Amino acid sequence: MPDKSSLLAETLVKQDEILSDLLSVTRNQREALKEGRLSRLQELMSEMRHTSVRAQAIETKRSRLAAEISGDLGCEAVVSKIAGALPPVESEPLKTAAEKLTSTVERLKMEMSILSRLMDEAKNLNEMLINEWRKMSSKAVGPGGGGFDARI
């Protein structure tokens, strides 16, 4: 069993690295959005897609390994259950990697929530500005609408 459990621990460490990359991209997106740097935001979206594909691949590997190990041990495919069924020398690296990964996931969730709210605010602000611009435009060119005269 040490081979599979150590491979699962390594996979969790790799998953943490990839999600940390995703966290970094998300933070950079937030900064680019706040600063209004559209071209940087587009680059970061491409980077996010690439990193997300890597995250999905490592999640598939993690899930497969956990299922194999849990099948061998006769327990649920959850790290805490797997670690509980292993000797302490094998379970400690697994627990440590899982704790670190859980922390990264929580930070990523929080950052994505912030980014989502910022994007909603930017969308609402843009819609408001467009509506105001349209009102001003219709008044400026409409018959007897008041507004300003664009004639020279």
In a domain? residue 149 = no
- 17-29, pLDDT tens digit by residue? 999 999 999 999 9
Residue 134 in any domain: the answer is: no
Residue-wise DSSP of the chain: -HHHHHHHHHHHHHHHHHHHHHHHHHHHHHHHHHHT-HHHHHHHHHHHHHHHHHHHHHHHHHHHHHHHHHHHHTS-SSHHHHHHHS-HHHHHHHHHHHHHHHHHHHHHHHHHHHHHHHHHHHHHHHHHHHHHHHHHHHHHHSTT--S-----
Question: Is residue 99 a part of any domain in this protein?
Answer: yes
Q: Is residue 126 part of a domain?
A: no
Q: Is residue 11 a part of any domain in this protein?
A: yes
Q: Say what the pLDDT of residue 1 is.
A: 45
129 found inside a domain = no
Q: Is residue 85 part of a domain?
A: yes
pLDDT value for 122: 79
State pLDDT tens for residues 45-56.
999 999 999 999
Q: Give the domain extent around 38.
A: 2-111
Q: Does 10 map to a domain?
A: yes
Q: How many domains does the chain have?
A: 1
